[in-house]
Amino acid sequence: EPEVTQTPSHQVTQMGQEVILRCVPISNHLYFYWYRQILGQKVEFLVSFYNNEISEKSEIFDDQFSVERPDGSNFTLKIRSTKLEDSAMYFCASSVTGYSGNTIYFGEGSWLTVV
Amino acid sequence: GENVEQHPSTLSVQEGDSAVIKCTYSDSASNYFPWYKQELGKGPQLIIDIRSNVGEKKDQRIAVTLNKTAKHFSLHITETQPEDSAVYFCAAKKTSGTYKYIFGTGTRLKVLA
């Protein structure tokens, strides 16, 4: 069964450092997402991406965050200058379509620890 | 703002018993309600979903019910097994105007053998 894959599974970084989290969405999917989950809390929407541009972002997704689809398969989340509060599990997800209540499929997550 | 409340936060049941998890959403424009199961160290996996034009949906031991008037939806697992132990999240989404899913806070289900 096709799946969303994410790397790295776990990254520890110093505060103020840049981090790039990578994702390979399911191959025929056109919509891509990043969600995050702070330990013990709910899964929160960060951003959606379609046709090489951000289609929607949350208030969490400030200027420190950026997303990119550098080639035909990868989808990345960059955090420019990490803060302690960025420590969380970051989930990439993808879906075939965007609006119509279709299923989104999550990867296994990248656990980011900022020290 | 948009919010999804989920209860209980933890639930322990004996193997073979039923488990029920309840969610309430705030945005009346929500009309798609998926349920995700998250096992330790893994991403959320869709287990069942329901759209607003349906009141109930069943898939083997799992069922979901929706009460649009009350803005409630529930997950029912019958004949629970130890492998059902996981964290379950409900979510709500409007099918137009946004790509965003609003998740509940999660329920940690423990099935005791």
Per-residue pLDDT tens over the stretch A59-112: 999 999 999 998 878 999 999 999 999 999 999 999 988 766 678 899 999 999
Q: What pLDDT score does B1 carry?
A: 67
Q: What pLDDT score does A101 carry?
A: 65
Is the pLDDT score of A36 beyond 80?
yes
Cβ atoms within 10 Å of A20's Cβ, excluding its own: 14
Q: What pLDDT score does B43 carry?
A: 86
Q: Does B50 touch chain A (CB under 8 A)?
A: no
Is the pLDDT score of A35 beyond 80?
yes
φ, ψ for residue B78, nearest 5 deg: -100, 160
Chain A residues in contact with B35 by the CB 8 A cut-off are: none
Q: Using the beta-carbon criterion (under 8 Å), do B43 and A99 form an inter-chain contact? A: no
Q: Using the beta-carbon criterion (under 8 Å), do A43 and B44 form an inter-chain contact? A: yes
Chain A residues in contact with B105 by the CB 8 A cut-off are: 41-42
Q: Residue type for B24, please?
A: T
Mutate to test the interface with B, among A36, A50, A104 (most CBs of B within 10 A): A104
**CB under 8 Å to B102, separation ≥6 — which residues?**
A45, B2, B3, B4, B25, B27, B30, B91, B92, B93
Distance separating alpha carbons of residues B88 and B96, to the nearest angstrom: 25
φ, ψ for residue A110, nearest 5 deg: -120, 120
Q: What CA–CA distances, in Å, run from B56 to A101, B22, B62, B72, B103?
A: 17, 14, 11, 12, 20
Q: Using the beta-carbon criterion (under 8 Å), do B41 and A108 form an inter-chain contact? A: yes
Half-sphere exposure of B78 (CA within 13 A, CB side): 7
How many beta-carbon contacts under 8 Å exist across A and B? 60
Give the DSSP letter string of B44-111: -EEEEEEETT-SEEEETTEEEEEETTTTEEEEEE-S--GGG-EEEEEEEB-SSS--PPEE---EEEEE
Binding-face residues of A in 16-55 toward B, CB within 8 A: 31, 33, 35, 41-45, 48, 50, 55
Q: What is the mean pLDDT of each run of 10 residues along chain B (113 residues)?
A: 91 98 94 92 90 91 96 97 96 86 95 94
What value does the mean pLDDT of chain A take? 93
By C-alpha distance, the chain A residue nearest B51 is: A101
Angle (CA) A4-A82-A88 rounded to 5° is 45
